Structure 1
Amino acid sequence: MGWLFVLVMGIIIGLLGKFVAPGDRDNIPLWLTVVCGIVGVIIGYGWLGGTSGIDWLAFFVSIIIAAVLVAVAATVTGRARKA
């Protein structure tokens, strides 16, 4: 897996994970969302990847992992919500 692939897919999957995460998760910074996406890609494709072509299962698992990481990051950072 190339590093350019990890960065580009990390950005895309991080934003998709933020979109899929339950509740209002707009209280975490964008860079943390991207980091969650990159970690999701590394875990998802490291665990289920390795096939030729597009591996849809690894793609969707990466989105789910990124959504969980975004939810955890939002809970841990605890930035106050705007009323």
Structure 2
Amino acid sequence: MGWFWAIIVGFVLGLIAKAIIPGKQHSPLWLTTIFGMLGAVVGNAMARGFGVEETSGIDWSRHIFQLIAAIVIVAAGDALYMQLWGNRKMQRSA
């Protein structure tokens, strides 16, 4: 059940990150989900490093760290995706 929730959280974080980043992102949905999952892991590590991993009630600070990490990873990952595979797709469709 842990993987199921990791995929759902990654999916949601990835979509929110894509919505926040200006411009169009070209990475596919499955890759955005993986980027979101990585953002959740990195955000949890950052929260642990700042000592706010677990608080009473909703862990807003941990969620903010996860979202910030997801935004950075989605933006960097999309740029890398376009650099590696984007030109091939553009040439095929032309």
Aligned to 2:75: 71
Aligned to 2:66: 62
Q: Unaligned 5+ residue runs, structure 2?
A: 48-52
Contact 1:10/1:37 (<8 A) preserved: yes
Work out the percentage of aligned pairs sharing the same amino acid.
34
Residues 53 and 10 (structure 1 numbering): CA distance in 2 closer, same or farther, change over 3 Å? Answer: farther
Aligned to 2:55: 51
Report the alpha carbon displacement of residue 52 of structure 1 after superposing the two structures with TM: 4.6
Structure index of larger Rg: 2
- Provide the TM-score with structure 2 as the length reference: 0.70
Find out whether 1:14 has 2:10 as its counterpart: no
Q: Unaligned 5+ residue runs, structure 1?
A: none
Residues 43 and 52 (structure 1 numbering): CA distance in 2 closer, same or farther, change over 3 Å? Answer: farther
Q: How many residues align?
A: 80
| Partner amino acid, structure 1, of 2:10 | G
Residues 47 and 3 (structure 1 numbering): CA distance in 2 closer, same or farther, change over 3 Å? Answer: farther
Q: Distance in 1 between matches of 2:44 and 2:4?
A: 14
Contact 1:21/1:68 (<8 A) preserved: no
Structure that is richer in helix per residue: 2
Contact 2:9/2:37 (<8 A) preserved: yes
- Provide the TM-score with structure 1 as the length reference: 0.78
